Amino acid sequence: MDLNVFKLCSALKVLGYLMIVLVAAIVGVSYYAVIVLVWGPKLFDGGLDSVLAFFIVIVFHILLILLTWSYIAVVFQDPGSVPENWRPDTVDANLEVGSTEALTDVIVPENSASTWVPSEGIESRPVAGYCSRCHNGKPPRCHHCSVCQRCVLKMDHHCIWVVNCIGVRNYKFFLLFLVYTFLETILDTLVLLPSFINFFEEAMDHSSSPAHLAVIFLAFVLNLAFALSLLCFLVMHASLLLSNTTSVEVYEKKGSLRWKYDLGRKRNFEQVFGSKKLLWFFPLFSKADLDRTPALLGLEFPMRSDVEA
């Protein structure tokens, strides 16, 4: 019996569950430092301090709700599964008209160099693949995840922080989680900065509880570190979003003058966030967008040649 070594990657799921606990712990420490220790008590001081404290507390909770909502959505939302016994529409059409074209002419083996075949320098339609591990067809831009042990539509990567793959159906939620977490960590860093500056003075004077000082110090350092890290991720994913590229497609994209799925920044953005501007800020999709934007479902994607034609 053949041993599938990729199944060993499934052990990474255990690490993912620990990451969820870590995220909850960081949120808890930050909440205790910002709201309970520093700015919550200032709500009752009166004057300008109370107004500023009220503003900080409100913004903190709004961002916390949005990032928590986005995090839960990206954890529990299926990233996009290939329908059972899926095959491209071209095959169905050929079968309906009695074509003798074999299925293998349209669905190529998984170990092919690419999921699309160029012809004499002319951009051609993507060719569906076949996953020998899932024993099912693979739509264009679909990849097999060795951790989840299944194919994921428009897979970007497997994220251990959310114990889930990032694919076509939850990529928007993942990006919103990054944005709101970045804004929250930036806010926490700025509002804890005065307390952090006074940390050493208060520690030497013993004017504050050592435990409280330790929590403020830890919260400031963690939020600063995460803010800097998230900034790098946001820049990277913003570039991928606006060029309609996934992390696993970066290598394939290098060989082309212009990426075949790049339809312009506006349409690239709408293929991830939808066209309803009000819903851009929430981990939701409108039914209208799902009905009229096939790319949001992950089975077919318009190409640059379609738009230019």
By the 10 Å C-beta count (0-12 exposed, 13-18 middle, 19+ buried), 84 is classed as exposed
**Phi and psi at residue 139, to the nearest 5°:** -65, 165
> Which string of DSSP letters, residue by residue, matches 51-117?
HHHHHHHHHHHHHHHHHHHHHHHHHHS---BPPTT---HHHHHHHHTT----GGGTEEETTSS-SB-
Given 134, 148, 151, 159, the catalytic residue:
159
**Any catalytic annotation for residue 159?**
yes
**Phi and psi at residue 9, to the nearest 5°:** -65, -20
How far does CA 57 lie from the centroid of its chain? 27
Distances from the Cα of 149 to the Cα of 92, 248, 277, angstroms: 27, 17, 35
Residues with catalytic roles:
159
